[in-house]
Each structure stands twice: as structure tokens, then as C-alpha cells.
Homo-oligomer: A and B are copies of this chain.
């Protein structure tokens, strides 16, 4: 029951593409993640997925366009929409999505992370 400081939590890990849970709101989780480069194309058929950029900027690619999300911005990927996340330089972001969501959705592969690691 203490406030959760994003910078402090982000200082506790360095690996990329491995979201860490920091809090829950009912069944929804807040996760911090660091990444650079390209993720994999995937989708989440049962849920929306929100990204808030805390440091740097990221791209979210769709099959027909790409958006850039910067520090202090929020973007919600609606459920069922195929997308890929990317960052030229290391980006720190918060992901907000229901408990149990796997980062690679139905795509699987080597970037699939344990989806319930708390820090």
C-alpha cells in the first residue's frame, strides 16, 4: 500500500521485451517494460492493450499504417487488431491489460515472456 514509483521500478531490471507487473486494478495489470528494435506481429483476440510511454518513443505498426507514441502519451490497441511494437532507441513504457495476457498473443515464438512476473 505504498505509491509505486515508475523510475524506481524501472531501475530494477534491464532486459528487453519482458514486462514486469507493478500493480493490479481489479483484473487489470500495470506492467513496465523496456525494449528496443522490433517485436513480432501479433494480436490479442480477447482484449484491448494500452501503452503509456514513460521514456523515449515507440512505434506501433499496423498493416496499413504506423503511429509514433512519445513520452507522456497513451495509445490503446483495440482487440483483434494485428500490430507490432518497435523502438529505434531504448524505450520505457507501461502496458495496461488484463491479467493473463501473453505478450506475443497467438504468435508465440522466442520473445514470448512469462506474463506474471512482479517487481
- The answer to whether A113 has its CB under 8 Å from any CB of chain B is no
- The answer to whether A80 has its CB under 8 Å from any CB of chain B is no
Interchain CB contact under 8 A, B2 and A25: no
Q: Which residues in chain A, 28-77, are within 8 Å of chain B measured between CB atoms? A: 28, 30, 47-50, 54, 67-70, 72-76
Chain A: interface size category:
20 to 34
Known A1-B67, A28-B28, A96-B96; contact A76-B6, beta-carbon cutoff 8 A: no
Contact bitstring A12-27, B, C-beta under 8 A = 1, else 0: 0000000000111110
Contact bitstring A71-98, B, C-beta under 8 A = 1, else 0: 0111110010000000000000000111
Q: How far is the CB of A74 from chain B (nearest CB, A)?
A: 5
Interchain CB contact under 8 A, B68 and A3: yes
Q: How far is the CB of A65 from chain B (nearest CB, A)?
A: 9
